[in-house]
Structure 1
Amino acid sequence: MILEASSHQIPEMNEVILAAKRHWGYPEEMITAWLPDLLVDEGVLASRRFWTLEDEGRIAGVFSISVNKELCCELEDFWVLPQFMGQGAGRMMFGFVQDWLQTRQLSELMIVADPNAKGFYERMGAVMVGSQPSVPEGRQLPVMRYALEPTPTREF
């Protein structure tokens, strides 16, 4: 079940985020350097739309979208507990994002992806449009674009 996130879930959301990031085998020094950008607090929660994927009363996934004044959307967070990776959790979460965009008639989503997640986003239909520098120096993150296909109109 996907639900809008609330502030009392922040500690569990951060546990999911850290478990997902650590799953890829990054050294703890890198995780520590990324902490300010990884973790959710009250301010971050209030700055964009957050949802959780819940399984049997616990959080299995966390994701968020920001929308600016020009109606440009960015997938800011997309984290799945390692034990749910490859089980359809990410596909379910991305399907929710697609529906959310379509309902609001927003046609495009930008994603600055972890290199390990690039293949997942490609399977969801996103294409790489560039790269962005990251910590440590010399590391590049894929910048991806997901374009929502227009809903066909029916003629009567």
Structure 2
Amino acid sequence: MQSTTIRRAVAQDADRLTHLIQASGAYRGTYASIISGYRVTSDYITRHQVFVAVDAAEQLQGFYALTLEPPELDLAFVADAVQGGGVGRLLIEHMLGQARAAGLSEVRVVSHPPAEAFYRRLGAVRVGTLAPSPPKVSWARPELRFAID
């Protein structure tokens, strides 16, 4: 993996984060409806713990958003071009560190179904299933929890 840095997102990152979501190959076909029209706003970045992974040239590799109340991994995306290279693991490990620093005991994840195995490999435990909520979400979603030690 080339040099990757994780830094706090700033308001000016909003359009790049939105573009990363909209370009995600994981949300084509069946899952496209959940991101249709979704935008990351500068206000969202200001209100939540949003961190980006960038390379030495400041190219966006991925990001996550942690909400503290209630504690939840709200968003997590890795650019298609760098998936499988450790960026996702780096982001989740960083998120767990931020959760620990905030004094959280656990973090909830409502997972994109194809991403469940990824979260489980990193230590999340499945605790349930969320029913579909049409029209945007017509499929069941795994609910997982990361315990913060």
TM-score range, shorter chain: 0.7 to 0.9
- The answer to whether the Cα contact below 8 Å between 1:17 and 1:62 also exists between their aligned partners in 2 is no
> Which residue in 2 is equivalent to 1:110?
108
C-alpha distance in 1 between matches for 2:23 and 2:145 = 26
Q: Does 1:15 align with 2:19?
A: yes
Amino acid at match of 1:16: L
- State the Cα RMSD in Å: 2.0
- Rg larger in structure: 1
- The answer to whether the Cα contact below 8 Å between 2:11 and 2:43 also exists between their aligned partners in 1 is no
Question: How big is each residue's C-alpha offset from its partner over 1:87-131, in whole Å with a ceiling of 9 and x where there is no partner?
Answer: 000011111011112222211000011001100000010011111
Residue ranges of structure 2 left out of the alignment (5+ in a row)? none
Number of aligned pairs? 142
The alpha carbon displacement at 1:148 in A equals 1.6
The alpha carbon displacement at 1:25 in A equals 5.8
The alpha carbon displacement at 1:32 in A equals 5.0
Amino acid at match of 2:21: I
Residue ranges of structure 1 left out of the alignment (5+ in a row)? 150-156
**Alpha-carbon distance change, 109 to 30 in structure 1, aligned in 2, over 3 angstroms:** closer
41-50 vs 121-130, which deviates more? 41-50
TM-score normalised by L of structure 1: 0.81
> Which residue in 2 is equivalent to 1:77?
75
List aligned pairs for 1:1-156, cutoff 5 A: 1-20=5-24, 23-24=25-26, 26-27=28-29, 31-32=32-33, 34-36=35-37, 38-55=38-55, 56-68=57-69, 72-132=70-130, 133-136=132-135, 138-149=138-149
